[in-house]
Amino acid sequence: MSDLTTNLARAEAYLARFRQNGVLNHVNGKAVAALDGSSFETLSPVDLQPLAQVAQGKAADVALAAAAAKAAFPAWRAMEGEARKALLHKIADAIEARAEEIAFVEAMDTGQSIRFMAKAAIRGAENFRYFADLAPQAQDGQSLRAKGQINMTSRTPIGPVGIITPWNTPFMLSTWKIAPALAAGCTVVHKPAEFSPLSARLLVEIAESAGLPAGVWNLVNGLGEEAGRALTEHPDIKAIGFVGESRTGAMIMKQGADTLKRVHFELGGKNPVIVFADADLERAADAAVFMIYSLNGERCTSSSRLLVEASIYDRFTAMVAEKARRIVVGHPLDPKTVVGPLIHPLHEKKVLDYIAIGRAEGATLAAGGTKVAGPGGGCYVSPTLFTNATNQMRIAQEEIFGPVLTAIPFADEAEALALANDVAYGLTGYLWTADVTRAFRFTDALEAGMIWVNSENLRHLSTPFGGVKNSGIGRDGAQWSFDFYMETKNIAFATTAHAIPKLGG
């Protein structure tokens, strides 16, 4: 990685087109402005200056995009799985070829540090390759025998789908949602988040440069209440894959009710990392620090509640506080930076308000807790640790979505489990213990969709991804994704001349 000055110059070169031409929608293979000509401004989290004007799509733009996705669907659905596989691999190649551009644009649009964004393209390409390889088998089903009957199941793509994504790690998340939809044979209308729209524009261009037919992937920028809402209400959009806040998920479910929309929700989290005294404490501390302070703490799977056995509580939280204080906060393009500016002044206010709430609730600030005067004057907040907290405090119950960790002691395993589960969310959990029997027992009872034992979040794409309780509905990954984007059909063949009830003679 080069130094900040060189990185800034490179980033500016990549951003120039957005500054000049804005961020357009993409419908039926063409870059287009919003039909009514309206646009909104997206800010750089570094200096709060405008980065670009973004097309502000509304219901009419969504209708055009949905019509394009509907028209492209029959041919895309009919494409042989092997051909779809080859094309999706080409998209992955094209993503890798533009890795630097993606990394710089994403870092400047989101405030995420380049040390993490440098891998965004590789991970995005991996998502495409993974689902590319599964594409030829997507329609395969099962053969189920019964007495006098053989059943055959198969899957068919559900139709055009809407994908609505949030502002955190937008490139990676968009690929994670769109790659399986395309591999399944669905066409797509994508509505990215208004705070970070740049990389979604790159992505659709990259896909078409690799040969994706026009209309298979459409992009409509806009506000959630306008473009997002219209997408969830459109009758030709058969399903909505949504990643975002739990309360937005609830709204989407209502909005989609009239058209009986199938929904898949990846929502918020307040994920516990549970550390028992018998754990490898140095590794556990590194993992806890990584999971809350990487990506600015703006990640759904962050370990935002630290539950520590009372006998090691002071020692362990002191280790975490020490590491937190040493984390470098700075410009996202500086290779030394770990924590960059938060996405937007509104979000920064939310995070700082929670820090004030934690203090007012009586928790102790063991590290951070302040706004940082970083380069450009953007939304920098220091890595923060609250100790002496209780699980009833708002900082222990509500998703802050920033670099803020709340540490709570527990007396024994039963209390650890009760605290871990006493929250509205259930996305991930991280357990640190050397006792394998306890690990089985504890993870069996822990209310979370994904749990890592003696590990930070290390993703294996074949495993199911998703949450329980307010953290989501449905799972992504491998066949779970295909079950969402496809309809399963069962056909029963009679194998004998069985007795048919004779009604009426």
Q: Which residues are catalytic, by number?
A: 266, 300
472 is a site residue for ligand NAD (CB under 6 A) = yes
Binders of ligand NAD in range 390-449 (CB under 6 A): 399, 401, 427
Length in residues, the chain = 505
Q: Which among 475, 488, 338, 463 is positioned nearest to 403, based on CA atoms? A: 338
| Tally of CB atoms within 10 A around 198 | 25
CA 258 – CA 248 distance, rounded (Å): 17
Binds ligand NAD (CB under 6 A): choice among 111, 124, 157, 228: 228
- Kindly tell me which of 398 and 415 has the beta carbon lying closer to ligand NAD: 398
Cα Rg of the chain, angstroms: 24
* Structural contact between residues 131 and 179, judged by C-beta atoms closer than 8 angstroms: yes
Cα distances from 145 to residues 149, 483, 490, 495, in angstroms, run: 6, 21, 12, 10
Contact between 164 and ligand NAD per CB under 6 A: yes
Q: Which of 266, 309, 334, 456 binds ligand NAD (CB under 6 A)?
A: 266
Q: Which is nearer to ligand NAD, 187 or 296 (CB)?
A: 296
Q: Which two tokens stand for residue 47?
A: 């200096």
Question: Please, which residue, 66 or 243, has the CB nearer to ligand NAD?
Answer: 243
Q: Which of 369, 375, 467, 474 binds ligand NAD (CB under 6 A)?
A: 467
Position among 229, 305, 323, 344 found at the interface with ligand NAD (CB under 6 A) = 229
> Residue type for 482, please?
F
* Torsion 171-465-142-156 (CA) sign: negative
* Least Å from the CB of residue 318 to ligand NAD: 29
Q: Which stretch binds ligand NAD (CB under 6 A): 152-160, 197-205, 263-271, 359-367?
A: 263-271
Closest to 107 measured CA to CA, from 209, 14, 23: 14
- Cross-strand pairs, 405: 385
Which amino acid, 10? R
Write out the binding residues for ligand NAD, residues 303-362 only, by CB under 6 A: none
Using CB under 6 A, pick the residue from 46, 55, 181, 252 that binds ligand NAD: 252
Two tokens at 462? 């074949």
- CB closer to ligand NAD, 66 vs 87: 66
What is the DSSP track for 140-174? ---EEEETTEEEEEEEEE--SEEEE--SSSHHHHH
Which backbone phi and psi does 370 adopt, to 5 degrees?
-135, 160
Binding status of residue 292 toward ligand NAD by CB under 6 A: no
Residues 82-121 as x/- pattern, contact with ligand NAD by CB under 6 A: ----------------------------------------
| Contacting residue, 191, 238, 264, 323, with ligand NAD by CB under 6 A | 191
Query: Rule CB under 6 A: is residue 478 a binding residue for ligand NAD?
Result: no
Question: Hey, what are 267's tokens?
Answer: 């929502």
Confirm or reject binding of residue 482 to ligand NAD (CB under 6 A).
no
When asked if residue 244 is in the footprint of ligand NAD (CB under 6 A), the reply is: yes
DSSP 476: B
Interface with ligand NAD, residue 224, by CB under 6 A: yes
162 belongs to the binding site for ligand NAD (CB under 6 A): no
Strand partners, 465: 476
Backbone dihedral angles phi then psi of residue 309, each to the nearest 5 degrees: -60, 135
Interface residues with ligand NAD (CB under 6 A) are 164-168, 173, 191-194, 224-225, 228-229, 232, 243-245, 248, 251-252, 255, 266-269, 300, 399, 401, 427, 467, 472
